[in-house]
Amino acid sequence: MKIIPAIDLKDGNVVRLTRGRYDDLKVYSSNASEIAKLWYSQGAEMLHVVDLDGALEGVPKNMDSVAAIIRSVDIPIQFGGGLRDMDVIDKAFDIGVSKVILGSKVVEDLDFIVAVVEKYKEKVIVSVDANRGIVMIQGWTASSGLDALELAQKIKGMGVKSMIYTDVSVDGTLRGPNLETLEGLLDDIDLPVIVAGGISSVDDIKRLSELDRKNLIGVIIGKALYEGAIDLREAISICLRRE
């Protein structure tokens, strides 16, 4: 289980939202590449980068910052936010992104994910962002009305090799993940899953690790790192001890 620090970008700044609300935003840095270097220096093996402006507007707005992050560290970058046509996805790979994360477009056009997976194979991750079990889209500002488990099962049949599951109801709250929901999801989904939302302490990391699910391959941590509630080195060492 990998520990994956999150870098959320808005107007070029590194920020965190609470429950995905754009009116509840805190800026942590104006220099994304310095934040990337910080997490890299503490042992991160991968970074999770999201263009929040892109997620909201439908096209990436912070590609220069993403490119700067890629130049600053020698680890894979998984990137999402506004990747809703093939040309934009091609550009993301051209600047050095390792994997792309698709969200809203998958819900709106299932044929699209088939085409992207056919071209980029395992480099495509689908993000299932759910609030009380219902998938959220357009930067988490709108409900799709689609059941999260149903979407996860559909994408498996379309050749997707891994997914991110974010519990929007607890994301950015530092209240801990909903372990019961996660256990049910991991039991029902035959896909490697990276989880996100609500991670607040090393105890949360331990509890996730102790679920002992082979398809739980990673945990994205955001606000808890920026607020100093979790030490990245300690979190990584916990996972290493469980291997």
**Assigned token pair, 61:** 């707005």
- Residue 124 CA, chain-centre distance (Å), reads 12
CA distance 197 to 178: 9
- Residue 66 CA, chain-centre distance (Å), reads 15
Which is the catalytic residue, given 53, 129, 171, 204?
129
Query: Hey, which bits of the chain come out as E strands?
Result: 2-10, 13-18, 21-29, 47-51, 77-80, 99-102, 124-131, 134-137, 142-147, 163-167, 193-196, 216-221
- Tell me, yes or no, if 51 is annotated catalytic: no
- Tell me, yes or no, if 8 is annotated catalytic: yes
Is 33 within 8 Å of 72 (Cβ atoms)?
A: yes
Mind telling me the catalytic residues?
8, 129
